[in-house]
Amino acid sequence: MLRILIAAILLLIWQAMAMSGLFYQDVVLGLPDIARGMARLLLDPDFYRNLWITVAEILAASAIGSLTGLVCGMVLGGSRILERAFERYLYYLGPTPKIIFFPLMILWFGVGPGSKVALGALSCFFPVALAVAAGMREIPFILKCVGTSLRATPLQKTLKIYLPAMRGPVINGLRMGFGVAVIGVLLAETKLSNQGLGYLVIQNYQHFDMQAMYALLIAIFGLAVAANTALSHWADPNHR
């Protein structure tokens, strides 16, 4: 109830801002304009075509980035020596915006979806690897001992002890990884492409079609939030 009220107030403030003329009115659009843009977008088959492309790229990027991050994180987290040798480099590269590597990605993976997936995967890798490495270290030592004393094979330990024991941190890492993979893919699309939602955004911007741009951004935010909510729902330990 309160939530609806706050939402309504926020929308009203926006509308007031749009009408006040304090902001350049071609940029801060009123609500009716945004609604119109939304309707136009949702009826446009082009939107759905580009949407699926982007979704496929994001899924591929998250899958590759998460898997490599998972393996790397487990190796780093499983050995104090490797951790001390290499983890700092992950921490240093983690906050480096991956978009600056996009030129390299074009060089290596071409101009098609390959380079977008690569950039997304690269973005996704770091948070997953760091979270898994930390999670690995937080597995109670005792649980590893149980596995060793029962002479579990490394594969058995990984599947039956490490992964379930790290469920929380791993899923949190995957969530963060997914979030940055989305950003990576979309930004790559704005840079060099002829399809995908990132491409649509930049086209609308270059045409100064603010209506369409708002609509697109709202759609993208909505989808990202929905995907993230689904992931966190899955992470909730009460929801097995």
Partner 1 sequence: MPRPDATRLRFGPELGGLAVLVLLLAIVELLVRSALLNPFLVPQPSAVLLAFGRIVAEENVLHRFLVTGSEAGTAAVLVACIGVPLGALLHRAHLLRAAIGSWIAAVAAAPIVLAYPLFLVMFGRSASTIIVISVLSGLPPVILMTTDSLQSVRPALIDVGKSLRMNAWSLFWKIMFPAALPGIFSGLRIGFIFALINVVGVEFLINFGGLGPLINELAERYDLPGTYAAIGFVVLVSIVVFLILEALEKWLRPGKR
Partner 2 sequence: MNTASRQADEAARARTAPPILTVDGVSRHFDTADGRVDAVSDISLSVSHGEFVSIIGPSGCGKSTLFSMIGGLLPASAGAIRIEDETIRGPHPAIGMVFQEDSTFPWRTVIDNVAFPLELQGVARSERLEKARHFIDLVGLSGFERSYPAQLSGGMRQRVSIARTLVFEPKLLLMDEPFAALDEQTRLLLGDKVSQIQATLDQTVLLITHNIAEAVQLSDRVMIMSYRPGRNKRILPIDLPRPRTSEMLSSDAFGHYVARIWADLREEAGRGMRETEGVSARGADHASS
Partner 3 sequence: DDTLKLAVGQRGNWDTIVSQLGQDAGIFKKHGLELEILYTQGGGETLQAVISNSVDIGVAAGTIGVFSAFQKGAPIRIIGAQATGAADFWYVRADSPLHSIKDATPQTTIAYSTNGSSTNSVALGFAKAYGLKSKLVATGNPSATFTQVMTKQVDVGWSSPPFGFDALAQGKIRIVAKANDLDEIRHESIRTLIGNVNLLEHKQDQLKRFMAAYRETIDWMYASDDALKAYAAFNKTDVATARKVRDEFFPKSLIDPDKMAGLDLLNKDGIAFKTISEPLTPQQFDTLIQIPPRQ
Nearest approach in angstroms of CB 203 to partner 1 is: 11
Regarding 97 and contact with partner 2 (CB under 8 A), the answer is: no
Regarding 164 and contact with partner 2 (CB under 8 A), the answer is: yes
Q: Could you list the residues that contact partner 3 (CB under 8 A)?
A: 24, 26-27, 103, 106-108, 110-112, 190-194, 199, 202-203, 205-208
Largest CA distance in the chain: 73
Residue 194 binds: one of partner 2, partner 1, partner 3, none (C-beta under 5 to 8 A by kind): partner 3
Nearest approach in angstroms of CB 190 to partner 3 is: 7
- Encoded one letter per residue, x for contact with partner 1 by CB under 8 A and - for no contact, window 188-217 reads --x-------x--xx--x----x--xx--x
Among 8, 12, 27, 39, binds partner 1 (CB under 8 A): 27
Regarding 191 and contact with partner 2 (CB under 8 A), the answer is: no
Residue 196, burial from CB neighbour count under 10 angstroms (0-12, 13-18, 19+): buried
Nearest approach in angstroms of CB 2 to partner 2 is: 24
State phi, psi for 159 to the nearest 5 degrees: -75, -40
What is the torsional sign of CA 24, 28, 31, 32? Answer: positive
- Pair 119, 184: CB distance under 8 Å: yes
- Pair 52, 196: CB distance under 8 Å: no
Tokens read off for 183: 């950003």
Is 1 in a helix, a strand, or coil?
A: coil
Regarding 156 and contact with partner 2 (CB under 8 A), the answer is: yes
Residue 203 binds: one of partner 2, partner 1, partner 3, none (C-beta under 5 to 8 A by kind): partner 3
Q: Which residue has the tokens 């060099």?
A: 192
Find the helix packing angle between 113-138 and 45-78, rounded to 10°: 40
Question: Hey, what's the torsion of the CAs at 208, 214, 220, 223, to 10 degrees?
Answer: -160
Nearest approach in angstroms of CB 199 to partner 3 is: 7
Regarding 59 and contact with partner 1 (CB under 8 A), the answer is: no
Among 151, 206, 233, 239, binds partner 2 (CB under 8 A): 151
Task: Catalog residues that contact partner 2 under the rule CB under 8 A.
Answer: 140, 142-143, 145-146, 148-152, 156, 160-161, 164-165, 167
